[in-house]
Structure 1
Amino acid sequence: MKHVCFNATDFSFGLTYRFQNTGYFGNNPLYKNNQAEVNALRNQVELGDAIASSSCFPVGFEPLVFPDDYFKDHQDAAYKNLKQLDDFINGVGIMDGGIADNQGIGSMMLINDRIGDGLDLIIVNDVGSYKMKPWQQDTTKVGKSSTVKRVVNKMLQYFTIKPLYWITLALGLVILLLNNMHVFGSQAYSGMYIFGGVVLGMGLLLTVFGLVASVIKSAALSKLRTIFKKNVPEPLLDDVLTFQKLDISLVQQMLANRFTSALTMINDVFLKQMRRLNYDLFYSKDKLKNKRITATIYKLNGQKTPYSEGTGLNESIKPKPSKNLESVCLTASKTPTTLWWDKTDIAKNRMETLIACGQFTICYQLMDYILKLKADEDKPIKDITEVDALYKALEADWKLFNKNPLWLVDDLKK
């Protein structure tokens, strides 16, 4: 292939990091002033590592480090030259391309610009969805169990020397002394020495723990008081101090709401906003008119979306999607982000339905594209003989897909 690009995201500048065979390798800050050193190694990056970088999603994996994790021979002169550069001396964290450009739209548009608008058709295949599980607040009933102040004080009680600690210490010492004085019999018993030693050791350990904990607690509380006085304005002191009177169940609810809403923001809202921005960029370019297609995994699942009335299908395409085809598409569109197929996925034949969904969706989208292209008076081509031939071939496949959505998957197995 002439132009290949796998998107990732760098954790030094927060920009798209492109593993590509043409154009800038990485991104502008990491490549522009380091071209000689990067170019000496770029063709040695393995395809599997580029794919792993593009799929390395946060929380599930830790970042890959470039160049450390990408080249086995760290004694190679080219590797050493790159590692000596300020930008790479500590390595560059590389993670999921979906953080910045999940569909690769920006990368395709850059390739198109580099070759002078040479791409005849840009197809975006998107398995993402507009759907997200609505965030719901924690509805746990707030009771009158205990206040924050009481809970904190109860916890702090463990960080002190308790009478039980030194009593245990003294008891162990007394047992050893009495055994040595033959109080328990005519001689000193080894068993009593062992028992007394264990009790003494436990007492000593607990006492030392209590002493150290007390010192740490005192230092920590003193530090917190200092920070509190320095950072909380005096007019707000009373308001802030009221938090210690809050019921602990209310505090738990507040923390739960903050945590779950933050996760929703990061995992859903943020990524969907990035997707929308990329699509806005894609469809705002007039020069890409009649040169772009978007094929989404949920296009033909028969479900209405909250963003449009009706199905949004082209009425000129016959036959309409069959119930069987819609069912396969619906199963595919519900595929979760996963590292393996579980029993439910296997039972639903999830992998093959996903492949089939991609096949019949792009078939439909190409038919839709051709019909709209032919209807456009400003279409870039006048002789549409070959386009008509392509449409007939697609139409024949479309009819087969409606009868058996998995026919091409089955055919390719032969």
Structure 2
Amino acid sequence: MEPLSQLPHTEQLTAKSDQYKFPDQPFEQIGFALSGGGFRAACYGLGVLSLMDYIRTDRNKDSTLLEKVKFVSSASGGTITLAMYLASLSVEMKFAEFYKIACDSMKGDDLVNEAINILKDDQQWVGSKKSRNIINAFSLAYDQKLFGLFIDKNVADLGCLIDSISAKDRIHIEEFCFNSSEFYSGISFRFQAGTNWVQNENGQFGSGSITLNWKSPLSVSTLRKIKLADVLASSSCFPLGFEPMVYPYDFTYKNGPASQDLKDAITVKTHSWDDDKTPEQNQRSPRATREKAFADKKEFGLMDGGICDNQGLFSMLLANERNVKDGACRFDLMMVSDVTSYFMDPYEAPAIKPPADFTGTTLTASWQKITGGFAGLKKWALVAWVVSLIIAMGSLMPLLCGDKGTAAIMLAVLGVGLFCLVSWAKLDLSGFLSKNKAVDRYLSQPDLPALVRIILPEANFMQRTAVRIVDYLQHLETGIIIQMLMARVKSSVTMINDVFLKHIRRLIYESFYENRRYTYRRVSNLIYELTFTNDDARALPRFEPRENEPAQTYNARREQFRNEIASFNPISDAMRKTAELAYNTGTTLWFEDQQENPGNDTVEKNREAIIATGQFTTCHNLLNYTTMLFHSRQFDSLSSDYQNRIKYIKEQLTELASKFQSDPYYLYKLYK
């Protein structure tokens, strides 16, 4: 197998040095990644942002910790919050106002209801090249119900974010990355831009296989017009729940970029087709020919960013290496907030239900009922036609015999009408069978093995095996067949949603925590961290490496650090209970009535719990991190300004942590 460096579409962290360096300007350049996870991720991210907005970086200054965030990356549900936040910054909205709007927009099931109404409304789809499906209905709902809350006069597109980033008095975000997954090479597709999108080094749009067409002067201006709602839909269309977003057609809209312009704005690379070879040489590879046709067509599917990088973490690690010398780090701190976990529910085989009217029958019996009914339908259609003909002829006899009375006329009308109705039904059935001869052929087979031989006419291994399997299955009860199918569906869903995604998550986190370069520069902020569920697995807070320091001195410093954490950053049962409720909330784009119910204070309100958990969990982890910096042997090497910054942030977090001990919703109530 080839090493990753030889594969043309893979992405790698290129820094060769594994040496780490204490940040000489702590909290000055922050990279922030927010995971996917539906409204759970969106609300958790809102809580994280509000905590960072609450903390000031320097005494006697108005700058907040949030304003030190220079790069954001997200996938799926996390893109809801970050894209809305950037949209609010583009219109110079204060954070408190954004917070209230974002919080209200995620109440109940308003978004889902709006999407369903759009899907059913014919007028929404007139003249549109978008496919009329659920994900595009959600995209239109995002545009109206989310981004329309911030940007009402202009189109909410990538351009409005790029303009606000590139302006002279620009916003604090210097680069954003909203992750999707492309179904060509199977890697992350990034809607990404920096302060000057014209330059290659300021962020990669697309993937290693599908890139911005830098040769076209119109590429940037075209892609700037992509709606944020379509970006969000691409980032959050999770498998099994939604269809893929198809580029370019699902990214078109009235007065927006044409599909051909969107095609011209990108380049699709081939990996088997070689332009330096002759067509005849390339055609020796069947894949190369198919690949070339696909690349020239420039139509591809995009799905949930969480498929490849649900934390948005790898995109942040790549950005950390951009525009810096080898071995250096762009960010003083990289924080990843994540509402997923390594926990998974074990697979349990579906039970076979006790035999009932349907589940107790065999496939053979069911097939005989279907084919018997079909044969009976054809037979009785002919019988009914003959009978109706006889009735019609009989109803005409009084008229033919000279009776011109009303009764004779009515009898003739009813008889002829019945004949016409039956004739129409028979012709309709005959026409259907004439156009669909395969249906007649399939339903005329005596048993299921015979049906398989019709569907698979070639006598090969596949046909023989299928016939043998079906011959066995047709004698089983339907309930057993259903159990076998459900076992396959359930195990496939577990494999896709748990095994694969958690394995990818594990690999990316390993690249984050096993790399020594990120020492002093990383914080993971996990929704389950302070739950009862995680009590046994919760690790002690990380301390700096010992290096050449005498063990006795190092152990004394580490013990002092841990004692301070235990004293000033404990976890109360009230915090655990709130975090447990937040962690166990499902991955959906709505909250049930019983999860909201503003008129009942005894009801556990999941949305509020998730936001509050984002606040106090972030406080907990940042206090651990700040305390570690304070106790580091490197602390004295900092300038007095940055020493004071660490002390001041630590002081605020300590005070806030004390508030959270008794009331986990303390900050939520302040921002409410």
Task: Tell me which of 205, 210, 214 is aligned to 2:425.
Answer: 205
Whole-Å separation in 2 of the counterparts to 1:77 and 1:224: 44
Name 1:166's counterpart in structure 2.
382
Task: Tell me which of 536, 539, 547 is aligned to 1:312.
Answer: 539
* Mapping for residues 358-369 of structure 1, pairs under 5 Å: 358-369=614-625
Name 1:150's counterpart in structure 2.
365
Q: What count of residue pairs does the alignment treat as equivalent? A: 409
Name 2:611's counterpart in structure 1.
355
Whole-Å separation in 1 of the counterparts to 2:503 and 2:312: 15
Question: 2:219 touches 2:264 (CA, 8 Å); kept in 1?
Answer: no
Pair 1:252-2:482 in alignment: yes
Pair 1:2-2:224 in alignment: no
Question: 1:175 touches 1:192 (CA, 8 Å); kept in 2?
Answer: no
Question: 2:220 touches 2:265 (CA, 8 Å); kept in 1?
Answer: no
Question: 2:210 touches 2:266 (CA, 8 Å); kept in 1?
Answer: no
Paired AA for residue 124 in structure 1: V
Task: Tell me which of 4, 8, 20 is aligned to 2:192.
Answer: 20
CA RMSD of aligned residues (A): 3.3
Normalized against structure 2, the TM-score is what?
0.55
Question: 2:192 touches 2:203 (CA, 8 Å); kept in 1?
Answer: yes
Whole-Å separation in 1 of the counterparts to 2:363 and 2:183: 38
Pair 1:29-2:285 in alignment: no
Question: 2:453 touches 2:467 (CA, 8 Å); kept in 1?
Answer: no
Pair 1:216-2:462 in alignment: no
CA drift of 1:246 comes to 2.3
Task: Tell me which of 14, 29, 50 is aligned to 2:231.
Answer: 50
Question: 2:335 touches 2:525 (CA, 8 Å); kept in 1?
Answer: yes
Paired AA for residue 333 in structure 1: Y
3-state DSSP of counterpart to 1:150: helix
CA drift of 1:137 comes to 1.7
Whole-Å separation in 1 of the counterparts to 2:259 and 2:347: 51
Q: What runs of 5+ residues in structure 2 fail to find an aligned partner?
A: 1-172, 194-201, 269-293, 542-561, 598-603
Pair 1:296-2:491 in alignment: no
Task: Tell me which of 151, 170, 180 is aligned to 2:396.
Answer: 180
Pair 1:102-2:310 in alignment: yes
Name 2:125's counterpart in structure 1.
none
CA drift of 1:121 comes to 0.8
Whole-Å separation in 1 of the counterparts to 2:464 and 2:303: 45
Q: Is the alpha carbon distance of 1:272 and 1:373 closer, same or farther for their aligned partners in structure 2, counting shifts above 3 Å?
A: same
3-state DSSP of counterpart to 1:159: helix
Name 1:66's counterpart in structure 2.
247
* Mapping for residues 403-414 of structure 1, pairs under 5 Å: 403-413=662-672
Pair 1:11-2:183 in alignment: yes
Whole-Å separation in 1 of the counterparts to 2:514 and 2:464: 52
Whole-Å separation in 1 of the counterparts to 2:591 and 2:412: 61
Q: Is the alpha carbon distance of 1:168 and 1:203 closer, same or farther for their aligned partners in structure 2, counting shifts above 3 Å?
A: farther
What per-residue deviation string (whole Å, max 9, x for no partner) do you get for residues 356-404 of structure 1?
Answer: 2111111111121233445555x58733453233222211111112122
Question: 2:179 touches 2:235 (CA, 8 Å); kept in 1?
Answer: yes
3-state DSSP of counterpart to 2:341: coil
What per-residue deviation string (whole Å, max 9, x for no partner) do you get for residues 115-170 of structure 1?
Answer: 32211110000011333333322212465933322222221223325542222111
Question: 1:165 touches 1:204 (CA, 8 Å); kept in 2?
Answer: no
Question: 2:399 touches 2:409 (CA, 8 Å); kept in 1?
Answer: no
Q: Is the alpha carbon distance of 1:215 and 1:47 closer, same or farther for their aligned partners in structure 2, counting shifts above 3 Å?
A: closer
Whole-Å separation in 1 of the counterparts to 2:668 and 2:390: 83
Question: 1:102 touches 1:275 (CA, 8 Å); kept in 2?
Answer: yes
Whole-Å separation in 1 of the counterparts to 2:180 and 2:334: 20
Normalized against structure 1, the TM-score is what?
0.85
Question: 2:395 touches 2:411 (CA, 8 Å); kept in 1?
Answer: no
Pair 1:193-2:413 in alignment: yes
CA drift of 1:32 comes to 6.1
Q: Is the alpha carbon distance of 1:113 and 1:344 closer, same or farther for their aligned partners in structure 2, counting shifts above 3 Å?
A: same
Whole-Å separation in 1 of the counterparts to 2:483 and 2:594: 34
3-state DSSP of counterpart to 1:157: helix
CA drift of 1:45 comes to 3.0
- Aligned identity (percent) is 28
Question: 2:248 touches 2:263 (CA, 8 Å); kept in 1?
Answer: no
Whole-Å separation in 1 of the counterparts to 2:507 and 2:400: 85
3-state DSSP of counterpart to 2:346: coil
Name 2:574's counterpart in structure 1.
324
Paired AA for residue 312 in structure 1: A
Higher RCO (CA 8 Å, separation ≥ 6 residues)? 2
Question: 1:66 touches 1:88 (CA, 8 Å); kept in 2?
Answer: no
3-state DSSP of counterpart to 1:364: helix
CA drift of 1:326 comes to 1.9
What per-residue deviation string (whole Å, max 9, x for no partner) do you get for residues 312-344 of structure 1?
Answer: 355532342122222222222222222222222
Name 2:497's counterpart in structure 1.
267
Paired AA for residue 29 in structure 1: S
Q: Is the alpha carbon distance of 1:65 and 1:217 closer, same or farther for their aligned partners in structure 2, counting shifts above 3 Å?
A: closer
